[in-house]
């Protein structure tokens, strides 16, 4: 009998185009066939047509066997061998396909499909009788993975750290409340991004932020040189308390929103253009000088904006004290804004979470997925060479000017 066709790429293409039970059954058949081929190669000691000194026997065609699964009857082509015997492990009492079905439900949940919709999806695939409690149990198997990710040790130094919060509606004691989901992302001394931590709490107050940052330090967070965040008073106080010695950068994007909110709608575009001249300066010193000029110019007509600009001067320009190659990414929390947008895209499908734990499960799984993508990416967030500037001794101004003149 000819070798059964196992075109994985064709199946994946079909899976993306169709949404019916036949697709899932075909997927189980294709993956099961691939598993059996791999197993029989191990039994024989050689791949198909491979010359190997470890070979013990040869393939001898296939035998057909039907397999009754929860998604219907599947016809398998079980490989035969000339001597000895082979029986697929997936047909043993502890069937691997059950784990595959659990993975389908988990993956659907992580990708933003609510518990009720997962239940409907399973029924559409022929899995009648899967209750919402069963789906929740299956999804709960993600918890150990998320918890291991959240509590893992943080190795090495993380000179740059971004922190931010987003909110989700959660059932708490019979009421729907807004719960804060806080996330921290860092860059290692080698320039690689990492998700450092995530937590869910009742409010974004100082106590919650302090506990969150202390948990990061306890897990090994060290070497923090700059923390980038919004100007939330509780967060600012927590950073000063826990991450002593680190500079704080106020998110420039959020600052501009706050500043423009103090002027009339018609004047906002002009005021924004004037304030942006501060950030266009080549270095910290000239930016501070320009900021003072801009504040003086705004004072007569826009006193509140001028006062806010002067008050935030050191915090909004802190990023200019760090390597120029890094400054574009350091002046705002954009890296977290993009991450929060992805979290919201997944969580909006759920709507109201049944518990804080379910919120943490989904958000943690999304962050785990993102952290894995960053880990295997070919491109660093900052080059390893530029990161060395953070540990290089600073040259005196006279030497810097001399080198600039020579250059």
pLDDT at 400: 45
pTM score, whole prediction: 0.70
What region does 280 belong to: left with phi over 0, alpha with psi -120 to 50, or beta? alpha
Reported as a single tens digit per residue, the pLDDT across 315-339 is 999 999 999 999 999 999 999 998 9
d(CA 322, CA 187): 14
Candidates 4, 48, 49, 65; CA nearest to 30 is 4
Q: Judge whether residue 122 has pLDDT over 70.
A: no
Reported as a single tens digit per residue, the pLDDT across 157-212 is 999 999 999 999 998 888 999 999 999 999 999 999 999 999 998 888 899 999 99
Token code pair at residue 63: 């035998």
Reported as a single tens digit per residue, the pLDDT across 142-153 is 888 889 999 999
Band of residue 121 on the pLDDT scale cut at 50, 70, 90: low
Q: Judge whether residue 314 has pLDDT over 80.
A: yes
Q: Judge whether residue 14 has pLDDT over 70.
A: no
Token code pair at residue 277: 């001249």
Better-predicted residue by pLDDT, 23 or 301:
301
Average pLDDT, the chain: 83
Name residue, tokens 């294709």: 30
Report how far Cα 133 is from the mean position of its chain's Cα atoms.
27
284, 313 Cβ separation under 8 angstroms = no
pLDDT at 226: 96
Candidates 172, 163, 170, 103; CA nearest to 138 is 103
pLDDT at 145: 87
Which of 3-17, 264-278, 287-301 is the least confident region?
A: 3-17
Helix 132-140 crosses helix 356-376 at what angle (to 10 degrees)? 40
Question: Which residue blocks in 53-194 are alpha helix, DSSP H?
Answer: 96-110, 115-124, 132-140, 143-150
Q: Judge whether residue 401 has pLDDT over 50.
A: no
């Amino acid at each position: 009998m000819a070798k059964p066709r196992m075109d994985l790429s064709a199946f994946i293409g079909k899976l993306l185009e169709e949404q019916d039970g036949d697709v899932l059954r075909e997927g189980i058949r294709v993956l099961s066939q691939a598993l059996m081929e791999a197993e029989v190669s191990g039994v024989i000691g050689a791949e198909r047509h491979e010359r190997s000194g470890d070979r013990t026997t040869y393939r001898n065609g296939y035998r057909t066997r039907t397999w009754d699964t929860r998604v219907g009857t599947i016809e398998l082509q079980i490989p035969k061998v000339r001597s000895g015997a082979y029986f697929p492990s997936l047909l043993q009492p502890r069937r691997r396909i059950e784990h595959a079905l659990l993975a389908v439900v988990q993956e659907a949940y992580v990708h933003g499909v609510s518990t009720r919709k997962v239940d409907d999806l399973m029924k559409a695939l022929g899995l009648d009788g899967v209750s919402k409690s069963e789906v929740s149990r299956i999804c709960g198997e993600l918890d150990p993975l998320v918890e291991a990710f959240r509590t893992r040790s943080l190795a090495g130094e993380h000179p740059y750290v971004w922190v931010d919060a987003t909110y989700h509606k959660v059932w708490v004691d019979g009421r729907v409340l807004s719960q804060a989901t806080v996330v921290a992302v860092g860059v290692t001394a080698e320039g690689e991004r990492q998700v450092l931590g995530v937590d869910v709490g009742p409010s974004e107050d100082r106590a919650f932020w302090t506990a969150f940052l202390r948990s990061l330090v306890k897990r090994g967070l060290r070497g923090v040189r700059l923390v980038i965040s919004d100007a939330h008073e509780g967060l600012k106080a927590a950073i000063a308390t826990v991450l002593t010695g680190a500079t704080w950068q106020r998110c420039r994007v959020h600052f501009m929103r706050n500043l423009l909110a103090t002027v009339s709608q018609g004047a906002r575009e002009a005021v924004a253009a004037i304030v942006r001249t501060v950030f266009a300066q080549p270095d910290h010193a000239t930016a501070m000088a320009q900021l003072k000029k801009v504040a003086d110019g705004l004072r007569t007509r826009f006193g509140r904006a001028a006062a806010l600009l002067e008050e935030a001067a050191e915090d909004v320009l802190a990023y200019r004290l760090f390597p120029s190659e890094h400054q574009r990414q350091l002046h705002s929390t954009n890296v977290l804004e993009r991450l929060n947008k992805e979290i919201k895209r997944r969580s909006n499908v759920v709507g109201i979470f049944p518990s804080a734990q379910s919120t943490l499960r989904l958000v943690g799984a999304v962050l785990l997925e993102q952290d894995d993508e960053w880990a295997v990416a070919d491109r660093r967030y900052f080059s390893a060479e530029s990161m060395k500037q953070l540990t290089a001794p600073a040259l005196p101004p006279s030497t810097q000017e001399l080198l600039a003149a020579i250059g």
